[in-house]
Amino acid sequence: MSRILITSAIPYINGIKHLGNLIGSQLPADLYARYQRARGNEVMFICATDEHGTPAELAAAKAGQPVAEYCAQMHEVQADIAKGFRLSFDFFGRSSSERNKKLTQHFAGKLAENGLIEEVAEKQVYSKADGRFLPDRYIEGTCPNCGYDKARGDQCENCTKQLDPTDLIEPRSAISGSTELEVRETKHLYLRQSRLRDKLDAWIDSKSDWPVLTTSIAKKWLHDGDGLRDRGITRDLDWGVPVKKGDEPWPGMEGKVFYVWFDAPIEYIGATAEWADANGLDDSAWQRWWRTDKGAQDVRYVQFMGKDNVPFHTLSFPATIMGSGEPWKLVDYIKSFNYLNYDGGQFSTSQGRGVFMDQALSILPADYWRWWLLSHAPESSDSEFTWENFQVSVNKDLADVLGNFVSRVTKFCRAKFGEHVPAGGTYGPAEHKLIAELKKRIRAYENFMESMEIRKAAQELRAIWVAGNEYLQSAAPWTVFKEDPDHAAAIIRFSLNLIRLYAVLSAPFIPDAAEKMLQALQTKNDSWPDNVEQALSVLPAGHNFSVPDVLFAKISDEQREEWQARFAGSRD
């Protein structure tokens, strides 16, 4: 048995995420977690909400709520939706937790002790009307290059020229529109990542099995220009982890907080500690996942994230871990994803274009989405959601291939033998042939799951379902029954066992349907088919079952057209 630590990139707190966000990290992480648990491994699957930073403050202000209250509420909303999608987190934490505060301050203190923190005085734009310093992106004005009047302080979206906020003509706050801006001096802490460059470089080099997408982004940051740059890890905000050196105050940094990207990854650890607290366990319970001096030396740590998250997970967070000089667990494998587009364009949170997680669940059960998203995961390049494709995949794969298989077997049995596993006959060449094929395919499926090749795993799983229909077609129990009922009984007994096998194999992708299948078969045996022959004789003759309701209803053309129109833009 192995011990596997799995983290999904933590979703930002300011609203409900869309399907692109879901397939970019949480859903594939859940697939992997469910699979590893099914294989009997000890899994710790962690996610959380990322609650700090300017956008959270602004979203709270817009909602007319104190930011802490807003975050608490949105955390609950996101937790409910995650449950709706059957995301099997062992714990869904909050980056604003007390645990994360302490850990973040602890890491900062250690980094300072090791000479990896530098205080830098810099000039930043302050808005009097907003009473806050403005990040470059929150300053708007006219682009000196092209005259576009909504250029942002970091870059002009119109002509793509990189800008400095002071370049803008008639700069104003993007928050309030106020033009009462002034440049003030402020002091910030920088993480001296550059000092760890060689160490990080060697570490990345050692990860030859990581996806190109992951390592190439890291390499770019390590080698581009002067190489890895130091990074500011504090901000002038109210909402966040107060800057402290461990438990001690940090002179000169009063009133400042850590930058959200410094504390967010630390929350992976924080959330594991929150898990221990929530379960009444002591520190050793979470430390055995995170401290290589306290039991984590045999843990395999896998992270899931969208490609936009890669630099922080390959460089900043490892720099924090390495720089602490303490034996914290470093990531062993990073699985990163490209983006999912929506019907010819991007999902857009601001324009309400595309399907958001709550809306998705309001029109169809989680399994439909899980299957489509996972079997079309944007692994090698960006991929695209279209309603036509979604309809066809769901109807064909889930309803026709899997759902109908369950239906034809159980209904035939009920009609000819009653609602119990029929006795009589023995397994012959046809059954052994299928067993041989299943052995091969299940091993292939396992390999794809181990290596997190999600599309290929889905393809293999589908082929396993198809094999059942092929078998049934050639065994033709409806014909055999007329001449040799015992033989037909053996075919059906075999097929009913096949349904249980399918439930077990499919559970990581479609947990609810898998559960329904097991319930219909009135068994709790969900053991993995390490031995395929044995797995196909779990349900003995005489065992009762019931014909389940339709597992997957088909999506009609009318439904598809209605949804297509409804989600074309502007979320209500």
Partner RNA sequence: GGGCCUGUAGCUCAGUUGGUUAGAGCAGAGCGCUCAUAACGCUUUGGUCGCAGGUUCGAGUCCUGCCGGGCCUACCA
Which residues between 212 and 271 bind RNA (CB under 7 A)? 212-213, 216-217, 220-221, 224-225, 227-229, 231-232, 259-261, 264
Q: CA 510, 396, 536: angle at the middle one, nearest 5?
A: 55
| Interatomic CA distance for residues 527 and 542, integer angstroms | 21
- Build a one-symbol-per-residue string for 14-53: x at contacts with RNA by CB under 7 A, - elsewhere: ------------------------------------x-xx
CB of 522: closest distance to RNA in angstroms? 19
Residues 429-468 that bind RNA (CB under 7 A): 455-456, 459, 466
Residues 102-141 that bind RNA (CB under 7 A): 122, 124, 135-137
Q: Is 348 in the site for RNA (CB under 7 A)?
A: no
**Torsion angles phi and psi, residue 134, rounded to 5:** -110, 130
C-beta of 43 vs 264, nearer to RNA = 264
Q: Is 145 in the site for RNA (CB under 7 A)?
A: no
Q: Is 101 in the site for RNA (CB under 7 A)?
A: no
Q: Which two tokens stand for residue 390?
A: 């979604």
| Interatomic CA distance for residues 319 and 301, integer angstroms | 17
C-beta of 166 vs 362, nearer to RNA = 166
C-beta of 412 vs 567, nearer to RNA = 412
| Interatomic CA distance for residues 314 and 481, integer angstroms | 61
CB of 214: closest distance to RNA in angstroms? 10
CB of 53: closest distance to RNA in angstroms? 3
Q: Count residues near RNA (CB under 7 A).
A: 85
**Torsion angles phi and psi, residue 185, rounded to 5:** -90, 140
CB of 344: closest distance to RNA in angstroms? 9
| Interatomic CA distance for residues 254 and 244, integer angstroms | 9
C-beta of 224 vs 248, nearer to RNA = 224
CA 464 to chain centre: 26
Select from 80-88, 174-182, 471-479, 559-567 the region that touches RNA (CB under 7 A): 471-479
CB of 186: closest distance to RNA in angstroms? 8
Torsion of the alpha carbons at 393, 395, 398 and 403, rounded to the nearest 10: -160
Q: What share of the chain is helix, strand, coil (3-state, %, to 5)?
A: 50, 15, 35
CB of 388: closest distance to RNA in angstroms? 7
Query: Which residue, among 303, 368, 372, has the nearest Cα to 342 in the 3D structure?
Result: 372
Q: For residues 170 and 142, is the Cβ–Cβ distance under 8 A?
A: yes
Task: Write out the DSSP string of 34-75.
Answer: HHHHHTT-EEEEEEEEB--SHHHHHHHHHHTS-HHHHHHHHH
C-beta of 287 vs 495, nearer to RNA = 495
Of these, 166, 284, 351, 474, which contacts RNA (CB under 7 A)? 474
Residue 230, classified by CB atoms within 10 Å of its CB into exposed (0-12), middle (13-18) or buried (19+), is middle
Task: Write out the DSSP string of 377-441.
Answer: --SSS-EEE-HHHHHHHIIIIIIIIIIHHHHHHHHHHHHHT-SBPPP-----HHHHHHHHHHHHH
- Build a one-symbol-per-residue string for 53-92: x at contacts with RNA by CB under 7 A, - elsewhere: xxx-------------------------------------
Residues 388-417 that bind RNA (CB under 7 A): 389, 392, 396, 398-404, 406-409, 411-412, 415
CB of 228: closest distance to RNA in angstroms? 5
CB of 159: closest distance to RNA in angstroms? 10
Residues 276-335 that bind RNA (CB under 7 A): 307-309, 311
Residues 172-201 that bind RNA (CB under 7 A): 188, 193
